[in-house]
Chains A and B, each alone.
Chain A
Amino acid sequence: RKEVEQDPGPFNVPEGATVAFNCTYSNSASQSFFWYRQDCRKEPKLLMSVYSSGNEDGRFTAQLNRASQYISLLIRDSKLSDSATYLCVVNMRGGSQGNLIFGKGTKLSVKP
């Protein structure tokens, strides 16, 4: 089982749609979880951290399921500007430095 796995997509959705991505991780000791956004040929940028109780930032909702070892990202009312690749990031050593593992990303394309 790969350390961090994501559905590569692409997810092609119309404007205004709701879309959800999942990410599974292999290390049950993982403590920190994040979603990053990467535009084409650009660097990744932090979208949001994922907290145990789940958290929301505007149209974006992140959730953590420790029992099943996955995190999710829900985007409501999709905008054209949401088109990007979304990267799941997990700290795989339960707290040690230098072991933030990235998934390969899920590509989202929002169409007019």
Chain B
Amino acid sequence: SQTIHQWPATLVQPVGSPLSLECTVEGTSNPNLYWYRQAAGRGLQLLFYSVGIGQISSEVPQNLSASRPQDRQFILSSKKLLLSDSGFYLCAWTRLWGTAGANVLTFGAGSRLTVL
């Protein structure tokens, strides 16, 4: 069966510090990978998605970046955090587009970031 791991679960960072959140998927190959953010009182916002190694699409301009160095690894980074970066970050995967269930998102447990 497929599993998705995301870490760290919780972090508190000062403004201006760097960020690295990591996500890995097991039990599948060629997944589509996603980073979402859920800020307090707001819906889930798609930040990035990737259909393959090195392929990143950005949905919202911001001071965050994403990378996919391996097929089942997705990393969210920032060089300098802003207060507005606080939120609940969720990694998710779907099957390859065109296959059964390709629109069904499975989320990791999330990383709760507080920027002070």
Contacts and interface: CB of A to CB of B under 8 A. Distances in A.
A97 B105 contact: no
Contacts, number: 52
Contact of B104 (A34, A97, A99): A34
A89 B105 CA distance: 10
Interface residues of A, number: 23
B20 interface: no
Given A98-B32, A100-B46, A105-B43, A46 B104 contact: yes
Interface in B13-52: 32, 34, 36, 41-44, 46, 49, 51
Interface stretch (A13-21, A37-45, A62-70, A71-79): A37-45
Interface of B: 32, 34, 36, 41-44, 46, 49, 51, 57, 59, 88, 90, 97, 102-110, 112
A104 B107 contact: no
Interface of A: 4, 32, 34, 36, 41-46, 49, 87, 89, 91, 97-105
